[in-house]
Amino acid sequence: MKRTIFLVVIGLLEIGCTLRTKDPQTAKNETTIKKADTTQLSTISNESEFNEHDVNPGPIDTSSYIFDVVDQMPQFPGGDQKLFESISKQLKYPVSAQDFDIQGKVICRIIISKTGKVKKPEVLRSLDRACDKEALRVLKTLPRFTPGKLKGKVVNVWYTIPVTFKLE
């Protein structure tokens, strides 16, 4: 009887030891597999993202795009100096801004279309509501620019202009 109990206990110990040693190994193998799968998946997704950018889509219809950087930026007739002179001549300092001694720059951007026309003026950095409105009004009155070009084609271009309000 002692011998049977002894064998049963040894058998249970062996089973317990086997289960304990197998569980960590199984867990390690599963973790390794999961890590390998994750690596494989991320590698696959990175490759697919790379391939999307690597593929040449062919000619792009540039009629609806507005570019930030082009080969030849739009030019105001007479250059930047004439642009700032034109803005300063047309600019009327708002009375409310004068009363509170508000000075500074309103940073605006406009679209110079393929035809050179100024479109969609907007304020990027505000100074004062009245100054912002005046800056947009002046930008809407600017004459046509020489349009920007990209790879020899005329394109729409974002153009950033600072409008300075300074009391004298």
Q: Concatenated DSSP letters for 96-128?
A: HHHHTT--EEEEEEEEE-TTS-EEEEEEEE-S-
Q: What does the pLDDT look like over 94-148, one tens digit per residue?
A: 999 999 999 999 999 999 999 999 999 999 999 999 999 999 999 999 999 999 9
Domain definitions of the chain by residue range: 1-55, 66-165
- Whether 140 and 121 have beta carbons less than 8 Å apart is answered as yes
pLDDT attached to residue 55 = 53
pLDDT attached to residue 59 = 65
Does the domain formed by 66-165 have CATH 3.30.1150.10? yes
- Left (φ > 0), alpha (ψ -120 to 50) or beta: where does 79 sit? left
- Residue 64 — very low, low, confident or very high, per pLDDT cuts 50/70/90? confident
